[in-house]
Amino acid sequence: MAGTFTTKTKKVGAGSSGGTEPAADAEPDADGRARSRKRPGRAEEGGLTWRLRLRRDRSLILMTLPAVALLLVFNYAPLFGLITAFEYYDPLVGVLHSDWAGLDQFRALFNDPLFWGALRNTLWLSFVQLVLFFPIPIALALVLNSVTSERLRNFIQSVVYLPHFFSWVLAITIFQQMLGGAGVLNHFLAQHNLGTWDVMTDPHTFALLVTSQAVWKEAGWGIIVFLAALAAIDQNLYEAAAVDGAGRWRRMWHITLPGMRGVIVLMLVLRLGNALTVGFEQFLIQRDAVGHDTADVLDTFSFYYGITTNNYSYGAAAGLFKSVISLLLIWGANRVAHAFGEDGLYRK
Amino acid sequence: MSQTLTHTLNRPALRPDRNKGRPAWDEQPGAAGQTLKGGVLLLVLAVVLVPLWIVVLTSFSTSGAINRAGGLVLVPDGLTLDAYRAVLGDGPVTRALLVSLVITAAGTLLSMVVSVLCAYGLSRSRSFGHRTILMLLIVTMFVSGGLIPTYLVVTGLGGYGQYWALVLPGAVSVFNILVLRAFYSGTAADLIDAARMDGCSQWRILWSVVLPTSRAVTAVVALFYAVGYWNSFFNVMLYMPTESAKWPLQYVLLQYVSYGQSIPGTTNSGFGSLHQQSAPLSLQMAVVVLTLVPILLVYPFMQKHFKTGVLTGAIKG
Amino acid sequence: MSIAMNRRAFVNGAVAVAGAAALSPLLSACGSGSSRSKGGTNSKSGLRAALPDYVPGQAVKPDIPSVHGAAGAFTDPGFLTYPAKQIPTVSGTPGKGGSYTAVTPLWGTIPPAGNSFYQAVNKALGVNLTIKPANGVSYDTIVPTMTASKKLPDWIQLPTWWNAAFNMGELAGTQLADLTPYLAGGKIKKYPNLAAIPTFAWQVGAWEDKLYGIPCGASGMSLAGHVFYRADILESKGITADQVKSADDYMSLGKELTSAQAGVWAFGDVWTYLSLSWGLPPGWTVKSGKLVHAYELPEFLEALDWHYKLAKSGYVHPDALAGNVNAGATRFYAGKELIQGGGTGAWNLSDHQSGTAANKNYRRGAFNVIAADGRSDPQIFLGAATGVVSYLNAKLSPNQIEELLAVANYLAAPYGSTEYTMITYGVEGVHHTMVNGMPSYTDEGKKYAQPTTYTFLASAPQVISNPGAEQVTKDYTSWFARTAPHVYKPVFYGMNITVPQRYATAAAAKSVVDTVIEVTHGLKKVSDFQAAVSSWKSSGGDQLKNWYQTEVLDKYGTGQ
């Protein structure tokens, strides 16, 4: 019986379908031929010329145009700035008239041990965050969803996302005041002669520290999308499963998780694509506490060695490198998703 | 939601009160599970509420209390409304609030229309060109021309000092479109097919089938956009840095945060002493609190849609 | 690109610039087409022709007169009260009714446009000057976008600590007006209040032997800062500044004052200021005719080693070691950190008010300038006369420039004059009232009359005045008088050197600067610093030194 739920929910993905009566599933097939003229099913796809498909889908394409137009103007047009990565760019002289550098900026970048250090830190922090941070909002959403008292659930929901609105400066100040060498914890330890433990300045535990800061600040906000996914699951499925004797865990495994799967995979793919982005301000602020060897990530590297030196081109080269790798990563993540039979960013 | 009614009728009379809201078919959780869950939730609440308390308390503290505490205040010492008086007492805040509300409302509306249309346009699998357009979108998530080229494009279009410069450059969030699209592609494929057979146009399907069945995600994405517009200040800094009469709230509040801050580089000049007396930390915290208030006010309205997200049954029936 | 060697910023480690990356391929392949890569500096003879004469003002007599020190420096005069009789220094209105816009950074709330304070000042000035303050916190982002799109206002404040970010060396030649024809030599006498600004202050806004900037709030003796202490707490333990004569004395103070259990640590961040006790120059120095960088000096290693030991001693507040400098002042007020370095600007009325709000006995003191070994003659280098310089737009016509210079002359009126009172405190009865002989802002004044508005366009040389806290003025001026004999002008003083783009990374020496901070926080060892320096030298530092030697030192001298 549980198997039925799986297939059904998989097909509807994160959305919902009524489908309590078996007839609903069969309906479209019964009418397959009638539909094929207007909107063909998957089987007929190959037989259509692109002209016909364009004609058929023109309203869908029309719908995407406003967004595409905005992106073309405000995201694609400024891409001429990428040229600066191949120049000795001087904003006062302009992109057109700055000296040409060819690949010199990249050569310098790849010979720069600080760049590789920053890349290594970024990948390591990204990995730690993926393992320790990524599952937390999902778990929290599930726990919250299982709270039966509506008032309590609403209260918790409307509190946990608040740290998202704290700035990093404030978040880190709070951590410092709680866990720092002169903070509440260490003050307590010192007064009871239990030694001290300054986690805020320890380079060895830095990855854990920044991940816990990120969890504290962003996990509550991160659950919102998953709550929406949960809300989209048809409650009837639960009841039917319960009636059939499926227990709590079985229902979570066979209904809840499949219902959230589309969103989880999307988030995972995006997270992997953003593996080179782990944060900026958070590392800027804590750089002096643990040292640049530990705290420099790609974005802060571009900032320190590009922007603040006015060596814009060097920063642009680092940025372009990051863009290319990110695109490769998201392409790869999407391929992996497809290999597991998931949609990822788009259907295979 | 006729099921709920049925359950209410079927509910055993002896059920303890705290199980209100638990459907009849749901079994009682075990004591160990309950304890664990309670513990987790308690911990979550504590790590959020304690700092929140500190922030709120500091915002109400006198400069003496802050300077005695050496930073954020953990225990009430001296209390005052000065910080709020300083922020709210001046004229610019009222006007800036209005500007912010209009920008947020108009921007969110625009972004939602554009994003919902785009997301639905891309959500029908095997539709013509959707993969190309998707890739066009995704590239912009990772590739950027940089700050100054973007600035030159916007000002080249006449955006300097214009309100549209605060809205249009960031009106499309590809992330939000992808989220919407993920929900839409999962939405009731059979319903859509049925509607197509009835001769409904795609516009009609979007309006009367897809949107009503995906209220939760619509609410979430609208919240993302609204919060983005509400909190944004970077574009203000770029496109109207000196037009103080046009500034939205966040940028005005930012001024208060820097109020009385020592001026970098003048630490050894007399300009350090030209500042009016102030308690920057309590002001900063008051600004944080004031930022939270509108979000606290709006959130319940959004939360409502989490429960009414599923209407499939109603539509089908 | 131009890195003006802003000494103070350099010492502070605040010039956050590029690291000592292995950039040899970049260095050899650097293009030469754009003006950016050529570099430039002020020369002694060229400057002499461009700089204005100095005619000190005599209008207002200070309570505590200036003291002359070494190297031509003189301390800022002190005022214990506001001059009872406000003297006018400008007759009539300086303007001719022209319309201009001015942009200044403001760290505070921006008053509404066209408010009564602006109107009153405009009336007094006789021009329609639209003041457009921008957020000081993001000013370093705002200005480069203005210059990239050539949208500078008629008059703008460009603080020197952002010289590099603004690319001043190039901006001066292209978008900013050359004031030399109007102010050089005796021509400045047309503007008596501007003539009362000391000559060396004008050097701060001079680029390649031409005068561009108007220095605001210049000081006759500008120092990087001092090592401050909680005078009230230390004196209650019987410790006075005179007892601290060497680095060892500091270390024993650490032991005496620190009690982690009570939440009190002796030290905050002191490296930037205390390290000067080892006689360190701000950057380059000359040893037997050859340029040497501070990083190459054995004294630097000694200073670093001492600070490493200090960081490891447990006498430094953990938050300071965690790089949390912003809350440093609050820790000082709270008495959790008793000794900390800071700029001289920290020692003022507002500090006194903040401190006494926490503890009514609060008093700030500064230790004497010492030599680390306790025997040598203490030496401390002079900083630039000001960091606050305003510029006019190159597009203005000569008539417009003359009109604005006349306005600047009004704005630069001395402390306590009629004009000073107007631009700082507004109109009596509207923006301020006299309380105990001192102008005090009314509610309207608090809202509209931001004191750093017009003073950021032009202002008289600094004075020390802390009405209501005379003790602060007395402590401050006496410390300065004691320090005055120990100052010297460092190598390349006031030369505004624009380093060619290809040396920008080496000039910033970011990785060395980072390592220094990390050693003083106890995260890295002195040997790590030595490694960072040798990698800096081999990856461009030596080439930079060579450039300074041949292109600056050999051609133009030290500027001292």
Q: What is the pLDDT of residue C13?
A: 29
pLDDT of residue C40: 79
How far is the C-alpha of C277 from the C-alpha of C281, rounded, in Å?
10
- Report the C-alpha gap between B211 and B218 in whole angstroms: 8
pLDDT at C281 (0 to 100): 93
Nearest neighbour of C148 by CB, restricted to A88, A91, A291: A91
Among A89, A95, A99, the residue to mutate for chain C (most C Cβ within 10 A): A99
Name the closest residue on chain C to residue A289, using Cα atoms.
C322
Q: Do C108 and B260 touch (CB under 8 A)?
A: yes
Task: Label residues C516-548 b or e (16+ Cβ within 10 Å = b).
Answer: bbbbbbbbbebeebeebbebbbebbbebbbebb
All residues of chain A having their beta carbon less than 8 Å from the beta carbon of residue C173 are none
Q: What is the 3-state secondary structure (H, E, C) of A23-56?
A: HHHHHHHHCHHHHHHHCCCHHHHHHCCHHHHHHH
For A197-211, B18-32, B120-134, C47-61, which range has the lowest pLDDT when averaged over its residues? B18-32
Selection from A155, A157, A154 nearest residue A141 by Cα: A157
Compute the average pLDDT of residues B203-217: 87
Q: Do A115 and C30 touch (CB under 8 A)?
A: no
CB contact under 8 A, A28 and B193: yes
* Mean of pLDDT values over A199-205: 91
Question: What ipTM describes this predicted complex?
Answer: 0.84
Q: What is the pLDDT of residue A298?
A: 93
* CB proximity A18 to B under 8 Å: yes
Taking CA atoms, what residue in B is nearest to C104? B242
Query: Is the pLDDT confidence value at C356 over 80?
Result: yes
Question: Is 80 exceeded by the pLDDT of residue A37?
Answer: no
> Which pLDDT score is estimated for C514?
92
Q: When comparing pLDDT for A193 and B309, which is higher? A: A193
Averaged pLDDT, C293-322 = 96
Instruction: CATH number of the domain at B194, please.
Output: 1.10.3720.10
A167 touches chain C (CB under 8 A): no
In whole angstroms, give the CA distance from residue C4 to residue C497: 5
What Rg do the C-alpha atoms of chain A give, in angstroms? 26
- CB neighbours of residue A143 within 10 Å: 16
Res B253: pLDDT? 82
Instruction: Give the nearest partner residue to B142 out of A143, A230, A273, using CB atoms.
Output: A273
Subunits with 3+ Cβ pairs within 8 Å of B are A, C
Decide if B294 contacts A215 (C-beta within 8 A). Answer: no
Give the whole-number percent of chain C exceeding pLDDT 90: 68
In this structure, of A43-52, B270-279, C98-107, the range with the lowest mean pLDDT score is B270-279
Range 255-274 of A in CB contact (< 8 A) with C: none
Q: Which of A160, A321, A346, A347 is the best residue to mutate to test the B interface, defined by the most B CB atoms within 10 Å of its own CB?
A: A346
**So what's the pLDDT on residue B312?**
44
CB interface of A with B, residues 162-191, below 8 Å: 162-163, 165-167, 170, 173-174, 177, 184
Classified as helix, coil or strand, C200 is helix
Q: What is the pLDDT of residue C26?
A: 31
Chain A: residue whose CA lies nearest to C141: A307
Whose tokens are 């939360």? That residue is B303
Burial of A196 (0-12, 13-18, 19+ CB in 10 A): middle
Q: What is the mean pLDDT of residues C504-531?
A: 92
CB B225 within 8 A of CB B113: no
A270-309: per-residue pLDDT in tens?
999 999 999 898 998 899 899 999 999 999 999 888 877 7
Residue A310 has pLDDT above 90, yes or no: no
Instruction: Give CA separation, C458 vs C124, C420, C427, C528, in Å.
Output: 15, 11, 19, 45
Give residue B200's domain range.
Answer: 91-260+278-316
Q: Render pLDDT for C230-275 as a digit per residue (tens, 0 to 9).
A: 999 999 999 999 999 999 999 999 999 999 888 999 999 999 999 9
3-state helix, strand, coil in chain C (%, to 5): 45, 15, 40
Do the Cβ atoms of C382 and C52 come closer than 8 Å? no
**B25 lies in some domain:** no
Q: Which two tokens stand for residue C242?
A: 């005179």
Question: Which of C350, C347, C64 minimizes the C-alpha distance to C231?
Answer: C347
Co-location of B111 and B220 in the same domain: yes
Look at the block and give the residue holding tokens 């008292």: A149
Instruction: Judge whether B24 lies within some domain.
Output: no
H-assigned helices in chain B: 2-10, 31-59, 63-69, 82-89, 92-121, 130-142, 147-156, 164-167, 174-186, 189-197, 202-205, 211-213, 215-231, 234-239, 249-257, 280-307, 312-316
- Does the beta carbon of B93 lie under 8 angstroms from any beta carbon of chain C? no
Q: Are strands C337-342 and C265-267 parallel, antiparallel or unpaired?
A: parallel
What was the pLDDT predicted at A182? 86
* Rounded CA separation A94/A96 (Å): 6
Looking at residue C223, the DSSP 8-state letter turns out to be B
Among the candidates B23, B58, B80, a domain finishes at B80
Q: Which of B46, B80, B114 is the last residue of a domain?
A: B80
Question: Which whole number is the average pLDDT over B255-259?
Answer: 68
Nearest chain A residue (CA) to B23: A239
Query: Is B136 in contact with A166 (Cβ distance < 8 A)?
Result: no
Residue B114 in this model has a pLDDT that exceeds 80: yes
pLDDT at residue C17 is higher than 50: no
Average pLDDT over residues C434-463: 89
Residue B10 lies in a domain: no
> What domains appear along chain C, each with residue ranges and CATH number?
7-14+37-221+386-466 (3.40.190.10), 226-381+499-556 (3.40.190.10)
* Cβ(A143)–Cβ(A220) below 8 Å: no
* B102: confidence class by pLDDT, cuts 50, 70, 90: very high
Q: What contacts 24+ positions apart, CB below 8 Å, involve B34-42? A: B37/A143, B37/A146, B37/A147, B40/A143, B41/A143, B41/A147, B41/A156
Enumerate the β-bridge partners of residue C272: none
Residues A82, A88, A92, CA angle at the centre, nearest 5°?
90
Question: What number is the average pLDDT over the span B245-255?
Answer: 85
Q: Is residue B297 part of a domain?
A: yes
Q: Which strand ranges, in their side-by-side order, compose the sheet holding C99-106?
A: C128-135, C99-106, C155-157, C389-392, C214-215
Write out the two tokens for C500: 């060619």
Residue B14 in any domain: the answer is: no
C128 vs B78, which has greater pLDDT? C128
**Average pLDDT value for residue range C125-152:** 91
- pLDDT for C512 beyond 90: yes
Beta carbons of C112 and B251 less than 8 Å apart: no
Contacts of C147 in chain A (CB under 8 A): 91-92
CB contact under 8 A, C383 and B269: no
Per-residue pLDDT of B290-303, as tens digits, reads: 888 888 888 888 88
DSSP assignments along C475-490, one per residue: HHHHHHHHHGGGEEPP
Q: Which is higher by pLDDT, B77 or C103? A: C103
Q: Are B207 and B75 in the same domain? A: no
Q: Give the pLDDT mean for B167-183.
A: 94
Q: What is the radius of gyration, based on Cα positions, of chain C?
A: 24
- Share of residues in chain B with pLDDT > 90 (%): 34
CB B115 within 8 A of CB A66: no
Helix (H, G, I), strand (E, B) or coil at C382: strand
> Total structural domains in chain B?
2
- Record: contact C21-A305, CB cut-off 8 A: yes
Beta bridge partners of A23: none
Q: Is B92 exposed, middle or buried (0-12, 13-18, 19+ CB in 10 A)?
A: buried
Contact at 8 Å (CB) between C518 and C528? yes
**Average pLDDT, whole number, for chain C?**
88
Q: Do A147 and B29 lie within an 8 Å CB cutoff?
A: no
Q: How far is C490 from chain A (nearest CA, A)?
A: 24
Is residue B215 over pLDDT 80? yes
Taking every pair of Cα atoms in chain B, the longest distance, rounded to a whole number of angstroms, is 78
Angle at Cα C296 formed by Cα C291 and Cα C298, nearest 5°? 120
Rounded distance between C-alpha atoms, residue C178 and residue B257, angstroms: 37
Three-class SS of C493-541? CCCCCECCHHHHHHHHCHHHHHHHHHHHCCCCCHHHHHHHHHHHHHHHH
Mutate to test the interface with A, among C147, C162, C316, C518 (most CBs of A within 10 A): C518
- Nearest CB to C333; choose among B67, B92, B270: B67
With a cut of 90, say whether residue A170 has pLDDT above it. no
The ranges assigned to domains in chain A are 103-348
- Tokens 């911990």 label which residue? B43
Let me know if C25 is exposed, middle or buried by CB neighbors in 10 A (0-12, 13-18, 19+).
middle
CB B174 within 8 A of CB B137: yes
Tens digits of per-residue pLDDT, C62-110? 999 999 999 999 999 999 988 888 899 999 999 999 999 999 998 877 8
Indicate if the pLDDT at residue C485 is higher than 70.
yes
Give the residue ranges of DSSP H helices in C334-456: 349-358, 398-411, 418-425, 443-448
Closest CA to B184 of B111, B124, B109, B114: B124
State mean pLDDT over A162-168.
Answer: 90
Structural contact between residues A168 and A282, judged by C-beta atoms closer than 8 angstroms: yes
Q: Does B80 touch chain C (CB under 8 A)?
A: no
Q: Quick check: B262 pLDDT over 70? A: no
Fold exhibited by the domain A103-348: MetI-like fold (1.10.3720)
3-state secondary structure A132-151: HCCHHHHHHHHHHHCCCCHH
Q: Evaluate if residue C16 carries a pLDDT over 90.
A: no
For residue B12, the model assigns a pLDDT of: 44
Sign of CA dihedral C231, C233, C235, C238: negative
d(C-alpha B74, C-alpha B55), whole Å: 9
| Average pLDDT of every residue of chain A | 83
Q: Give chain A positions within 8 Å (CB) of B39.
A: none
Q: Are both B154 and B233 inside the same structural domain?
A: yes
Mean pLDDT of B81-100: 82
Chain C neighbours, 3+ Cβ pairs < 8 A = A, B
- The mean per-residue pLDDT over the stretch C349-377 comes to 92
User: Which residues from B are below 8 Å from C153, CB to CB?
Assistant: 242
Q: Which residues contact C99 (CB under 8 A, 6 or more apart)?
A: C127, C128, C129, C130
Mean pLDDT in residue range C438-452: 87
Of A14, A45, A63, the CB nearest to B182: A14
Per-window interface: B 233-272 vs C, CB < 8 A = 237-238, 241-245, 247, 251-252, 254-272
Kindly indicate the confidence band of residue C27, based on its pLDDT and cuts at 50, 70 and 90.
very low
SS3 assignment, position C134:
strand
Which tokens in the block code for residue A18?
């009524």
HSE-up of residue C50 (Cα within 13 Å, Cβ side): 23
